[in-house]
Structure 1
Amino acid sequence: MDYGRKRIRELSSKYRIPLIFGLCLLPSLMLGYLWQASKGSWLNSKISLLCETQSFSFHRYKTDLLDGLPEIELPRMVYTKPHIFKPPRNDVLTMTPWYAPIIWERTFNLEILNEQFRQRNTSIGLTIFAIKKYVVFLQRFLETAETYFMVGHRVKYYIFTDRPEAIPNITVKEGREIVPLRVQNYPRWQEISMRRMEMISHYSQQRFIHEVGFLVCVDVDMRFSDSVGVEILSEVFGTIHPGFYAAERQAFTYERRLISEAYIPRDEGDFYYAGGFFGGTVAEVYKLTKKCHEAIMADKNKNVEAVWQEESHLNKYFVYHKPTKILSPEYLWDNNLGNPQFLKKKRFLAVPKNHAAIRNKRNLHLK
């Protein structure tokens, strides 16, 4: 018993000072904790308030942005009701495996589409190249375009030419404009053909993106012979070449040499697309033409030229960047190919010409 009391006295004596110090420090620690808790609560409240304010501000921004979107509301229209079990065309393919529509006569209602695009205030740029003697095609091209191309919509005719003084003086309808763009001439027609991708890419970035919503890129040695309207417009579209609409992919004249950037293996490809009619939004056309131009330049550095110049590179692009809409051969036809039964319209026709005369600067006589 005495030993136990003695031991308690020893421990008490040993820890007296730390115990006293601890008891003195305890109130300070408690006050500090309370202050920190109060400070943290204040800070948290401030952060919460800031977040709520930012959230409200961002929410208001999003709401304002969405409230500002245009509303597309069609007026009353009377037209034939579509039927699930009565497709408008069953003689041709009208949809690709990646759900891109193929545009044929009787597969769309232009009245509905016109109203939708008018309310969106759509503007279209049409690019054509009239270099050297190809200026001879401008008169008929522009006259027929004024009759059939994007009737009722705003259009800018972007004419790339080395001879702006040779552009015919044609009066265009209200809301339409002829815009000459002076470009360099090249000695070889193949070089001119390939440089189109470079020029469209450059002007898309520098000018077209600020002026139009869509670009349609076509050959000038053509004429419009029937309506070509907003039914063609999409993010990016290509046109089935009239010489290969029924061909198997092994028969396509793709670039088959591995050394070329335009190379496509024989077991790939969907359609053979014509280089003379493609387009889409300015942003998508910029990406397409920039990619093709870079591939053309890479080939040039290897002293390689694709078998069909820029058309070969366009086809390579469409193999791996599927178009969102495809135009049937109605939109690019040559009367030398006859009059197949499936072809209900011939909207854009090749003009008969002497290729040698055009390319070798001889006398030219158009029929």
Structure 2
Amino acid sequence: MNLKRKILVLVSCVFSFLLLEHRLRPPAEELRLSDWFHPGTADQYLELFMRSANKHFMTGYRVVFYIMVDALSRLPDLEPDPLRTFKVLPIKGDRWGDFHLTRMSSLAEHILGHIEDEVDFLFSMTVNRVFQNDFGVETLGTSVAQLHAWWYFKNKDIPYERRPKSAACIPFGQGDFYYDGSVIGGRPLEVLTLIEGYLQGVTHDHKNGLNSTYERHLNKYFFTHKPTKLLSPEYSWNAALRPPAQVWSVKATRLSRRYF
């Protein structure tokens, strides 16, 4: 695998991946990093996200930024760089529907429709983050999970789904890590398998009158399908928390609305 020829794709979207049309045909491998954010926060988060990603995300590699939003006035002014391409793609979606369900269902369709043939690695991240240090190819893997910044340092009261009838249930006394739902990644078909597991779990719960969270379904999936790559909390640190001594270098920080 020649990483020097890898094309990295950074995507931002609001609701879903309805227009993930991408016409590059790279001679080697390509990574798609997809980012979603809640409606109304695009203008708040996007400039910080893009400026920091432009500086720290996969430096030295070719990156295509697909900015997918329902409404965006303009892109931040960034210094021209032959390794960086930016394109805005408008999307439409159900603003009042289940955000995670819409997002994951659409992503699954696009993995099957074209992503699996276009890229070798697929990342999804929330856009409410600022990259602070190099976020490089050490993060690539077949199945990538992000350790939760808060719960990584706790050993009790982990917020797993405990109701036995839920598909997301992890019984009391079981469980390992608690995973952060804001970052998932891996080979496209591995991500597809994760999505299918999530959608099946949601369908099961709805039929039984239950409603668990996306993150709890994600944790159940990684409990039964161990990821091949774990990202330490420094790759998605919560800006509201003071880094402990164990966290030497924060790679990316997640921001909350109170920072704007």
- Report the TM-score, using the length of structure 2 for normalisation: 0.82
Pick 1 or 2: higher relative contact order, CA cutoff 8 A, min separation 6: 2
Is residue 185 of structure 1 aligned with residue 94 of structure 2? yes
Q: Aligned with 2:34: secondary structure?
A: strand
For residue 145 of structure 2, give the secondary structure of its aligned residue in structure 1.
strand
The equivalent of 2:167 in structure 1 is: 261
| AA in 2 matched with 1:118 | K
State the partner residue of 2:190. Answer: 284
Structure 1 partner of 2:255? 351
In the alignment, what sits opposite 1:112? none
* SS of residue paired to 1:337: coil
Deviation of 1:181 (Å): 5.7
Of 115, 122, 126, which residue of structure 2 is paired with 1:219?
A: 126
Which amino acid in structure 2 is aligned with residue 174 of structure 1? P
Aligned twin of 1:118? 4
Distance change in 2, residues 1:210/1:277 (3 Å): same
Structure 1's 129 and 335: CA in aligned 2 closer, same or farther, altered over 3 A? closer
Q: CA 1:174–1:323 in 2, change beyond 3 Å: closer, same or farther?
A: same
Deviation per CA, 1:41-72: give whole Å up to 9, x if none: xxxxxxxxxxxxxxxxxxxxxxxxxxxxxxx6
Match of 1:150 in 2: 58
For the pair shown, which has the larger CA radius of gyration, 1 or 2?
Answer: 1
- 112, 121, 133: which one pairs with 1:205? 112
Q: CA deviation at 1:159?
A: 4.1
Q: Provide the C-alpha distance between the structure 1 equivalents of 2:36 and 2:74, rounded to a whole number of angstroms.
A: 11
**CA shift in 2, pair 1:185/1:169, >3 Å:** farther
2:46 equivalent to 1:138: yes
Per the alignment, residue 295 of structure 1 pairs with 201
Residue 335 of structure 1 aligns with an amino acid whose one-letter code is A
Q: Which moved more, 1:318-327 or 1:169-178?
A: 169-178
Task: Give, in angstroms, the shift of residue 298 of structure 1.
Answer: 2.6
Q: How does 1:230-241 map to 2 (within 5 A)?
A: 230-241=137-148
Q: How does 1:2-41 map to 2 (within 5 A)?
A: none
Instruction: Tell me, yes or no, if the aligned pair for 1:141 and 1:224 is still in contact at 8 Å.
Output: yes
2:236 is matched with 332
Cα deviations by residue, 1:203-253 (Å, 9 ceiling, x for unpaired):
2111322322111111111111111010000000101101111222x5211
Closer, same or farther: CA 282–167 of 1 in aligned 2, 3 Å: farther
Separation in structure 2 between the aligned mates of residue 131 and residue 336 of structure 1, nearest angstrom: 19
2:223 pairs with 1:319: yes
1-structure distance, mates of 2:233, 2:205: 30
8 A contact 2:167–2:204 mirrored in 1: yes
Structure-2 residue corresponding to 1:86: none
Report the residue type matching 2:4 in the other structure: R
2:81 aligned residue: 173
AA at the equivalent of 2:140: L
For residue 305 of structure 1, the aligned residue among 185, 193, 211 is 211
1:294–1:319 CA distance, 2 compared to 1 (3 A): same
Secondary structure at 1:151's aligned position in 2?
coil
- Alpha-carbon offset, residue 269 of structure 1: 1.6
TM-score by length of structure 1 reads: 0.59
Structure-2 separation of matches of 1:173 and 1:118:
16
CA-CA distance at 1:312 after TM superposition: 1.0
Alignment partners' CA distance in 2, 1:160 and 1:265:
39
Q: SS state of the match for residue 240, structure 2?
A: helix
User: Within 1, Cα distance between the matches of 2:219 and 2:195?
Assistant: 12
Percent of residue pairs bearing the same amino acid type? 28
How much has 1:318 moved relative to structure 2?
0.3
In terms of fraction of residues, the more strand-rich structure is 2
Alpha-carbon distance change, 148 to 291 in structure 1, aligned in 2, over 3 angstroms: same
Contact residue 5 and residue 61 of structure 2 kept, 8 A:
no
Q: How far apart in 2 are the matches of 1:294 and 1:286?
A: 12
Change (3 A) 1:155 1:287: farther
Return the letter of the residue paired with 2:93. Answer: Q
- What SS class does the counterpart of residue 245 from structure 1 fall into? helix
- For residues 210 and 233 of structure 1, do their structure 2 counterparts lie closer, same or farther at Cα, with a shift above 3 Å needed? same
The alignment yields a C-alpha RMSD, in angstroms, of 2.2
